[in-house]
Amino acid sequence: GNGATKQIAQVVLLDSDFSHMPHIVTEGRRVVNNIQRSASLFLVKNIFSISLAILSSLFTFTYPLQASQVSLISAFT
């Protein structure tokens, strides 16, 4: 019973001490916030690229970035 309970539980307190829970919750919130920031950066970058492509096709000027430049920018962001 004890091994099966540990396998299906989302949080296991090995020393039965709830004083570690605030640290666990803080760490979880930090992870979620970092994921949200990464998703936001990805979304803004894609929206900017799409809007730049649409504007360049509407006003018939050449797209200001080449494929190699976009790949280089994506590597660092």
Report pLDDT for 61. 76
CA distance 73 to 54: 19
Residue by residue, pLDDT tens for the chain (77 residues) are 577 777 777 777 777 778 888 888 899 999 999 999 999 998 998 898 888 888 888 888 777 667 776 676 666 66
pTM above 0.75, yes or no: no
Report pLDDT for 31. 95
> Apex CA 44: angle with CA 42 and CA 30, to 5°?
55
Task: Provide the residue type at 60 as one letter.
Answer: T
